[in-house]
A and B are shown apart, each in its own frame.
Chain A
Amino acid sequence: KAGVTQTPRYLIKTRGQQVTLSCSPISGHRSVSWYQQTPGQGLQFLFEYFSETQRNKGNFPGRFSGRQFSNSRSEMNVSTLELGDSALYLCASSGATTGELFFGEGSRLTVL
Chain B
Amino acid sequence: GENVEQHPSTLSVQEGDSAVIKCTYSDSASNYFPWYKQELGKRPQLIIDIRSNVGEKKDQRIAVTLNKTAKHFSLHITETQPEDSAVYFCAATGGFKTIFGAGTRLFVKA
Instruction: Flag the segment in B54-62, B71-79, B89-97 that touches A.
Output: B89-97
When the two chains form the complex, which single residue of B1, B42, B95, B98 contacts A101, counting CB atoms closer than 8 Å? Answer: B98
Of all chain A residues, the one with the shortest Cβ separation from B102 is A42
Main secondary structure of the interface of B (DSSP, over half): strand
Chain A contact surface mostly: strand
Residues of A within 8 Å of B89, CB to CB, are 42-43
Is the pair B100, A45 in contact by a Cβ cutoff of 8 Å? Answer: yes
Q: How far is the CA of A33 from the CA of B103 in the complex (A)?
A: 19
Does A89 interact with chain B (Cβ within 8 Å)?
no
How far is B96's CA from A42's CA once the two chains are assembled, in angstroms?
19
Within 8 A of B (CB), among A90-110: 90, 99-101, 103-106
> Is A59 part of the contact surface with B, judged by Cβ < 8 Å?
yes
- Please tell me if B26 contacts chain A, counting CB pairs below 8 Å: no
The bracket for how many chain A residues form the interface is 20 to 34
Given contacts A42-B101, A50-B96, A56-B96, contact A99 B49 (CB under 8 A): yes
Contact code string B99-110 (vs A, CB < 8 Å = 1, else 0)? 111110000000
Q: Is B45 an interface residue when CB atoms closer than 8 A count as contact?
A: yes
Q: Mark B41-84, 1 if CB is under 8 A from A, else 0.
A: 01111100100000000000000000000000000000000000
CA distance A59 to B98 in the complex (A): 13
Give the contacts of A1-43 with B (CB-CB under 8 A).
Answer: 31, 33, 35, 41-43
Q: Which of A38-83 contact B (CB under 8 A)?
A: 41-45, 48, 50, 55-56, 58-59
Say how far B43's CB is from chain A's closest CB, in angstroms: 4
Q: What chain A residues lie within 8 Å of B91 (beta carbons)?
A: 43
Across the interface, which residues of B come within 8 angstroms of A99, CB to CB? 32, 34, 49, 93, 98
